[in-house]
A and B are shown apart, each in its own frame.
Chain A
Amino acid sequence: MNRRKASIIYLMIFLVVYFLVFTPPTSKELIFLPVWAKDLSDPSNSSREIKELEIFPFYSEDLFGYISVDGEVQYAEKILYGVALAQSVFANYSRVSENIVFKDSDGRIVMNLETSGYPILKNGRIFVISTDRKRIAEWDDQENLLWKREYTSHITSLHINPNTVLMGFLNGDVELIDKSGKVVLKQTPERSRVQVIYGCAASRDDRMIAIISGIDPQRIQLIQKKDDLYKSIFTQILENEFRRNVYLEFSDNDRIVFFEGNNSLRYLDTKMKTLGSIMLKGKIDKVAFEKRYNLFFALSSINRENQIKVFKPGGKVFFESTFPGKAAFLNFENDSLFFVVDRKMIRVDLKEK
Chain B
Amino acid sequence: MKRNVLLISFLIIQIQLISRICLAYEWPVEKIMLTATFGESRKDHFHSGIDIGGGEQEVHPIAEGEIVFFHEEGEDFSGIPTGLGSFIVVEHEGGIKSLYGHLKQQTIPVSMTQVGIKDVIGVIGDTGGSYGPHLHLEIIDKEFGQDVNPLLLLPPIQDKNKPVVRTLSFEKDGSIIPVTSPVVINPGTAELKASIFDLSADVPFYCPMAPFSISVFINGETTFNVVFEALRALDGNIILIQSNNLTFSDFYESDWDVKLGKIDLHPGESRLEIAVKDYAGNTTNRQFLIKVTE
Interface residues of A (CB under 8 A from B): 82, 84, 93, 95-96, 98, 115-116, 118, 120, 129-135, 148-158, 170-172, 181, 194-196, 198-199, 215, 243-247, 260, 283
Stretch at the interface among B70-78, B190-198, B203-211, B257-265: B70-78
The answer to whether the Cβ of B159 comes within 8 Å of any Cβ in the partner chain is no
**How far is it, in angstroms, between the C-alpha of A197 and the C-alpha of B42 when the chains are bound?**
27
Q: Which of A134, A170, A247 contacts B48 (CB 8 A)?
A: A134
- State whether the Cβ of B99 lies closer than 8 Å to any Cβ in chain A: yes
Q: Known contacts being A245-B77, A283-B77, is A131 close to B146, with CB within 8 Å?
A: no
* B78 contacts A158, C-beta separation under 8 Å: yes
Measured in the bound complex, the distance between the Cα atoms of B44 and A115 in whole Å is: 8
| Contact among A130, A155, A243 with B67 in the assembled complex (CB-CB below 8 Å) | A243
Q: Which of A150, A153, A246 contacts B77 (CB 8 A)?
A: A246
* Cβ–Cβ contact A95 & B97, under 8 A: no
- Count residues on chain B whose CB falls below 8 Å from chain A CBs: 43
Give chain A nearest CB distance to B63 CB in angstroms.
16
Inter-chain CA distance A133–B101, complex, in Å, is 12
What residue of chain A has the Cβ atom nearest to residue B136's Cβ?
A132
Are A196 and B145 in contact, CB atoms less than 8 angstroms apart? no
B window 58-91: CB within 8 A of A? 66-72, 75, 77-84, 89, 91
Interchain residue pairs A-B with the least CB separation, the first 4: A131-B83, A245-B77, A118-B81, A245-B78
Taking A150-B45, A152-B145 as contacts, is the C-beta distance between A95 and B140 under 8 angstroms?
no
Residues of A within 8 A of B128 (CB): 95, 131
> Whole-angstrom distance from the CB of B64 to the nearest CB of chain A?
15
- Tell me the bound Cα distance from A233 to B178 in angstroms: 65
- The contact of A194 among B45, B68, B77, B99, by CB within 8 Å, is B68
Contact of A244 among B43, B70, B99, B232 (CB under 8 A): B70
A244→B108 CA distance, assembly (Å): 12
- Measured CB to CB, the nearest residue on chain B to A155 is B80
Contacts of B78 in A (CB 8 A): 156-158, 199, 245
Are A148 and B236 in contact (CB-based, < 8 A)? yes
User: Would you mind naming 30 contact pairs between A and B with Cβ atoms under 8 Å apart?
Assistant: A93-B81, A95-B128, A96-B130, A96-B131, A116-B43, A118-B81, A118-B83, A120-B80, A130-B45, A131-B128, A132-B45, A132-B48, A132-B82, A133-B84, A135-B238, A150-B237, A152-B147, A152-B231, A152-B238, A156-B80, A158-B78, A194-B66, A195-B142, A196-B68, A243-B67, A243-B68, A243-B70, A243-B113, A244-B69, A245-B77
CA of A195 to CA of B233, assembled, Å: 19
Also in contact, A133 and B147, with CB within 8 A (given A170-B89, A244-B71): no
With A and B bound together, what is the CA distance between A115 and B45 in angstroms? 11
Q: CA–CA, A9 to B45, complex, Å?
A: 53
Interface residues of B in 194-247 (CB under 8 A from A): 231-233, 236-238
- Evaluate contact between A153 and B145: CB separation under 8 angstroms: yes
In contact, B83 and A132 (Cβ under 8 angstroms): yes
| Apart from the given pairs A95-B130, A149-B236, A243-B113, 12 other A-B contacts in the complex at a CB distance below 8 Å | A96-B129, A116-B44, A129-B80, A130-B45, A130-B83, A131-B128, A131-B129, A170-B69, A170-B89, A195-B142, A215-B66, A215-B68
Least CB distance, A110 to chain B, in whole angstroms: 20
Contacting pair B145 A154 (CB below 8 A): no
- Chain B 145-172 per-residue mask, 1 if CB under 8 angstroms from chain A, else 0: 1110000000000000000000000000
Q: Which of B43, B69, B70 has the most CB of A within 10 A?
A: B69
Tell me the nearest residue of chain B to A216, going by C-beta.
B66
